[in-house]
Structure 1
Amino acid sequence: MKNLGQSTGTRELFEKTAKIGRIGVYELNTISSEIYWSDITREITEVPNEFVPKLDNIEFFFKEGSCRDKAKQAVQDALTKGKPFDLDMEVVTANGNQRFVRNIGYPKFENGSCVTIFGILQDITDRKRTRFELARKNQLLSFAESISKIGHWKWNAVNGEVIWSDSLYEIYGHPKEENLSYEVYLSYIHKDDRPCVENKINEAIDNGIYEDLTYRIQLRDGSIKTIKSTGVVKTTDGATLEMLGTCQDISEQITREQELVKKNQQLTFAEELAKIGYWEWDVVNDHLSWSDNMYRIFDMEVGTPLGIENVVAAIHPDDRDMFRAHAEEFIAEKKFRKFMHRVIYNDGTTRTLELFGEVIMDNVGNVIKMVGITQDITEQRMSEIKFRGLLDSAPDTMVIVDQKGTIQLINKQAEKMFGYKSTELVNQHVSILVPNRLWDTMEYHAKIFFKDPKHTSLPTDLDFFVHNKSGFQIPVQIVISPLETSEGLLVSIAIRDITEQKQSAHRILETNKSLIASAKRLKAQNRQLEEFNHITSHNLRSPVSNLSALLTIYKTEKDPNIKEALIEKMESVTNHLTWTLDTLVESLVIKNKTEQSLEKTFFENTLQRTKEMLAAEILNTKAIIKHDFSEVPSIMYNKIYLESIFLNLISNSLKYKAEDRIPEILVKSKITDGKTQLEFKDNGLGIDLNKNGHKLFGFSKVFHRNKDAKGVGLFLTKAQIDAMGGKIWAESEPGVGTSFFINF
C-alpha cells in the first residue's frame, strides 16, 4: 500500500478521488501483524493520528453482535480460504458515532499462505440513510394511498405497457395476476363517461397537456365509483412517450358533498321559513361569520365584511348600548343569555330580533368564540304587544294558564287585584291564587272543562273566592275560555271582583249619593244642550222626520210585504239615530265631567303606548313616527284623555295618508305664551281649510273618502280638550299635509 502507483500524479489523483468518495484503504500484513490505515480510514473511524490499529483493537469498531461476528468470519475466510469479501456494515467510531460502511477485502497468497489482505473502507452513511428514507417514504406513500384511496399509474404510449400501484388495483378491483392494458383500463369506465374520457386522453396525446378528469367506473361486481384522475404527459420532439399520474376514489366525497348540498338547501329553506340566521363571532379577532339568511335578516348584502361595530351600526340607536353591554357581560360571565334588540332597515322599517347563543372557551377558560342563531320575531312580537295591549285594556283581571295550571301571562288588573308583580306569578301554579279550601272545587271544574273546552263554562251561581298576596279573600265571578296556540291549548281566565255585589246593602246606601250626583251632572249636561241645537236640528230632525213619514205610510199600507219592508227601513233609521244620540251623549259626558283625575303624564310614554296600540297599522303603512319632547317632557293631565287625543290624531294621520309616499308623523312639545303646546304634523292628504275649515271639528264630518271614516274622532277630541280648558286648531295644505296644535 505504501508503494501504491508508479507516479506522484497517480497517487494524488487517487487521494483526491478517495476523499471525494469517502473511500479509505487499509492493508494487513499477516506476517508482521502490522496494519496500515489511510487518512480517510482514520476520518471514517474518527481516531486520532497517533492511534495504531491492531488486530485486537480494530474489531471493536464493528457494531457488537451479528455485524462484528460477520466481520470476524469474513477476515477468517480470507486468511484461510483466500475468499474476498464485500460487506455493508455498521461501525461505531471512536467518538461513539454510528456509521454505515462498505468493507471490501482481497487476500494475497504466497506459497499457499495469505501474506496480505488489501482492502477499502467506504463511508456509505448518507447513501444508507437516503435509502432508508426512500424506503420509509415509499411505505408512507403506500399507506397514504391506501388511506386516501389514491393509486398511481404509468402508461407507456409507445409499447402500451400499463403499470398500476397496489392501491390502484384495490380501487378498480382488478386482480393483480391479470394483464393490464389501455383497453382494460377503458373497459372499467362507465359507458356514459367513456367517450368523454377517451377524447380527453386523445387531446392529452395531441397537445401534451393532461387535464384533470372526473368520471365513473363500474367494477365487475356492478358497483359504481367516482374517480378523479390527474397526470402529466412526457414528450420528446412533440411525440408523447408516456403518461403518469394518480387516480383517487372520491365516491364518498361526492356522496358527502351531495348530502351536504342537500342539507344546506334544506337548512337555507328552513332558515328562510323560520326567519332564522346562524352566526359565529371570533371574539379574539373580532371576525363574524354569517349564514346568507343572517344577512337578509339584517337587510345587508350577502358577503358584506363584518365586524361587531358595523353590526352595531345596523341596530336601533336605542338598543346599541344594551347590545354592547350584553356582549361585554357574556364575555365577563362566560355565559350567553337570550335577548332581543331591534334593527332598522334601509327603508326605515324596524324589525325585532331575538338572539340565542353559546360561549366557547379555550383550555384556560378565556372566551374565544360565540356561536348562535338570530330569529326575526317582529310579527310575533307585534302580536304579543297587541295581545298584551288588549289584555291590559280589558276591564277584568285576566290570567292565562296552560293545561297543567301553570300561569303564563297576567294583565295589569291582575297585578292590582292580587298584589303580585307579573314576574312573581308567571310560571307559578294557579293554585297560589286560590284558598286551600277551594282547591278541590278548582280541580273538579278544570277536569270538566278540559273534556270539552269549547262547550264548557263555569256555573253562573258558583260561589268562588281568590286571595291576594296578603291572604285577603275576594269574592269573584270567573269566566274561562280556551285559547288555541301553536304551543298547545291555553286557558283564559277572566276574573271580576264582585265584592260590591256581595255588599248590596252598603251599595243601596251609596245609591242615594249617586243619584244626587247624577242629578247635578244632568243639570250641567242640560246647560250644554243648547250648544248642540244646530247639531240636533240637522242630525236628528231628518231621521225623526223620516221615521214619522215611514210610520204614517205604515199605518195606511195594506200590503204585508211592503209593511215588512217599511219596518226594516224604520229599524235602519232607528239604529242611525241611536248611534247619533250615543255619540252626542258621550260628548256631553266629556264636556260636563268636572272631577277629572289629574296625574303627571309623560308624552313619550303616551306616544309609545299609542304606537303599540297602532302597531299593525304602523307596520302595514311603514309609517315613520318621530318625536321631540325635550322642551316639555310631561304634563299634569287626565291620562285617559291624553291617550285618546294621541290615538285619534295619529290614527287620523295613518288613515288619511298620501298614497305616493310613506307616512311621516312628528309629535313635538313646546312652551308658547307660557302654555304647554303639542303639535301633530303629518305629510298626508291635507285638508282644504278655506272650504272645510269651519266644519273641521263638526259632528259626523268627513273630508276624504275612506270606508272607516265616521267624522267622530276630531269631534270627540275637541270635546275632551275643551272640557279640560284647552284649545285645538289646525293648519293644512291639500297634498302636503296637516298640523294640529293643542294648547293645554
Structure 2
Amino acid sequence: MNIALLSQVVEALPDPVAVFDAQLRLVTLNSAFVEENKRYLAITFKAGDSLLRLCDAAPHVRGEALEHWQRALSGERFTLVVPFGDPPLHYKISYSPLYNGDDTVHVMMIIRNVQQETEARRNERFFRSVLENLPVGLQEFTPDGWHRNMNTAQRHILGEDHPANNGPYNVFEDGFNRRTGLTALLDEVKQRKGPVKKEMLLRYSEIHDENVTRIQPLYYDVTGFPVLDLQGEIAYLFIILSEITEKKLAVLSLEKSERLLYTIVEHLPVGYIQFDNFGFIRRVNQTQRRFFASTGLEEQPDSNLIQDPFARLFELDQLFMQVLQKGKMIRLEKKLEFQVHNNGGKTDREVFLDLTMFPVEDPVDKDQIVVALVNDITEKKRQELENVKTHEFLLQTGEIGKIGGWEVDMTTRQMRWGAQTYKIHELPPFTHMTYEKSLSFFTEESRNRVELAVTACMQRGKAFDLQITVNTARNNVLQCRIIGKPEYRNGRMVRIYGVIQDVTEQYKIRNQLTRNAELMRLFFDTIDMGYAVMDKDGKVNFINRKAQEIVDHGKVIGRNIFEVFPTLVGSTFHARVQQCMMLQAPVSFSNYLPATDKWYEFLLAPMQDGNISIFTRNITDSKKMQRELRKANEQLSSLNKYLVNQNKQLEDFAHITSHNLRAPIANLKALMQIMNDTDGEQEKELYRGMFQEVIKNIDETLNDLIEVVQIRKDLNVERERLVFSERLQKVRDILFVDIETSGIELITDFSEAPYIEYPRIYLDSILQNLLTNAIKYRATDRKPSLKLQSRMVDGGVMLTAEDNGMGIDMERYGAKLFGFRKTFHKNKDAKGIGLFITKSQIEAMGGSIHAESQPGAGTKFIITFSPE
C-alpha cells in the first residue's frame, strides 16, 4: 500500500481521519484528527502512536472502542454514533477496512462531530410530538401548494376521505378551497410573505335528532403563514385551523337578535330615543329622525337632556330624572312651542307629543337607561281642535243658514231634533217630539209627499229631497227644504236622518229671479244681435231668438255646443273661449263658418258665476266689402310696383343702351365712311363683312337687353315647390358635354334645406349660370370642382356655390362683377351677361347675391332667397 499517497488523500478530507494497522498503531492521520483530539482530550497524536492512548484518556469507552476496532480489523465496514466526553459530545464514526490483496492490513477511521445534528433531530422529535398533539389542525404545503404533512387534529378536521390522506394533493387545485376562500388566503400569504388570519365556513356536519337530520355549518379560524429560507423566499406554507363553530353561531345568533331588535326599533311607528343614565342620547330611530326633520329641530346625538336649554324649557329634564330615580313609567301629552330658522327667517311651530318614558337596565353594563317613545299627535290634536271648531261652525252655519238636523229612530219611532230645527218650527228647545207630531206642522199636501218619501226610504232605502210648506207653532207659513237618507247597521235600517232648511227667502228670491229671467229673455229677443250664455264646459244655458236663427239648429239649451257642432273643436272659436276663461277678460274676434259661407263677429265676456256671455252678429256683407277693397288695393299696389319697375327698366335700358350701343354704332359710322372713301371692290367687300360682324354684335346686345327687361317685367311669375337635387340634375343633363369635357367635380349638400318655393325657369337659369361659370373660369393646374350647399337662415333659404377656379380680384373688379357685359378674364366665351341675368332674376324675386373671391383661390357666390 502506498502510504504517501494515502496520507495525501487523508489530509484532503475535511473530517478528522486516521488510519491504523492490526497493532492499533496510527499509520497516517490528518491535521483535523490532531486538532479535534487536542481540543477535547488534550492529546497530541502523530503517526506511529497507539490508539490505546484514547482509552487511557477516556477509560469508560475502552471496552466498546476495542470491540469496534477489532470488528473493523476483521473486515467489517460499519458506521455508528457514540457519545464522548463530559458533557458528552456525539460523534459519527465510520470504519472502512483497507485491503492489500485479500488481507486486511489497515482500517480508515473517519470521525465527524454530529452534536448539532443530534440536537436538531432531538428538537425535531420534540416539536413534532408537540405539533402532533396540538388541539388545532396544522397542515404543511410546498410553496406550490402540494401537501407535505399534517397533524392528527387536521386529519380529523379534513376527514378520512379527504384527498390529502390518499395521495398527492394540491391545495390550489382544489375547487372547494376556491369557494371557501382558502385558496385566496394562501395567495395572500404568498404575496405578503407574512401570516394572514380569517374566519371561514369550511364544511358542514350532520346532527341527528330522532328522525330529523340537521345540517350545521362548521366555522374555523384559519391562519396561514410562510416559513422563509435564508434567501427570504418561501420554503413552506402552513395553515392552522381552529374550530369556532359554537362561538361563531353564538355571535351570529346575537347579531341576528341585534338586527331583529334594530329593525323592530327602527321601524316603530313612533319615535324612539334612548338615553344613558347621564342623559346623553345613545340611539334614535328613523321615525324620530323624520320628526326632527319635519319640525326643523336639529338632531344632536351628543347633546345632554339634562343640560339642553330646549329640554329644560319644556321640563323634559325633570321627567327624565323622575323616571330614572323612581324607576317607573311616565306617559303624558306635551305641547312644544318653538321657533325654527328657515330661508333666512324664523317660523313659529307648535307640536303636540304623546310622550312615554320608562327605565330599562342595560344587560351588559347593568346601568339604568331611559327610553322615550315619542308619538307626534300634532295632526290628531289639530283635528280635535278642528272638530270642535267645526261643531261650533256648524251650529253657527245652521243658525245663519236656518238649517236644522233631525233623525227618526226606526225601533222606538222617537224623533230627535236639533236646536235650529226647534227654532224653525218656533218651538221651545227640547220639546218632546215624535214622528207623527212632526208631520202635524206640514200642510196636507206636504204631509202626503213626506209620508210617501219616508215609506219609500224605509222599504227601498231611497233618499229624498223635497220642497214643503210648514205651518209653525206661531202660525207662520214657511217654505222649507227637507232632505233625508237611511242608515244601516249589519244590513238593518236603524234610523232615518237628515236636515230641514228654511228657504222662504230663497223661495221669494227664486220667484223674483224667474220673473227677471223672463224679462231678460224678452229684452235679448228684441235686440238685433245673437246672445247666448255658456258655462266653462261648453253647455249652453241661454240663447236668444237671433242666436237661435244664426245657429239654425234644433234644441241647443242644455247641450254642449262642441258636441252639437263638432267642427268647432280646435277652431278659432274654441281657442278664444279658452283664452277668455284663462285671462278672465273680454275677447273679440271674427270667424268664418264654411258650412254657411258667412262671417260672424264675436264678443266673449266672462261672468262672475264662471259662465261666458257670447255676443255675435253677421258681418258677411262687411267682410265682402273689405275683401273687394283689399283686392283693389292689392291690384293698385301691384300696378304701382309694376310702374316703378318699368321706370327703373327704362332708366337702366336707356343707360345700358347708350353705353353698350354707342361703340358699335360709332364703328358702323366709321366703317361706312371708310367704305365710301374706298374705290376698290375687293376692299369694299371686306368692309361689308365687317358690317355683318358689327350688326351681329348689336343684335346679341339687343337680345340680352330684351331678356333682362323680360325678367324685370315678370313680377308675378309663378312659384312652385322645387327640389334642389332634381333641378341640378336637369342642368347637368343640359351641360353633359361641358361637364364631361372639363372633368369638373360636383359636391352637393342640400340636407338642411332640400327644397324651395321659387320659379322653375329662374332656379334652372341660376344653377346653369353658376355651373357654366365654374367650367369657363376653371384653373388649369388643378381639377375643377364646384360645391353647392343649401341651408335655412332667418326663415329663408341660402344657397352657396364655391368653386376652385381662377378667382377674381374683388378690390379691382368687385363693384363691376354683376354688371352688364362685364368680363374680367381673357376667355373667348366670356360675354359678361350670365351674372347680370342671374342677379336680375334673384333680385326680381326679392333676394340678393354677393361674391367672395381672391385671384387663384376660387370664387364663392352667396345667394339669399326671399322667404315670400
* Fold match (TM-score > 0.5): no
Q: Which has the larger radius of gyration?
A: 2
The one of the two structures with greater contact order (alpha-carbon pairs below 8 A, sep at least 6) is: 1
TM-score (normalised: structure 2): 0.28
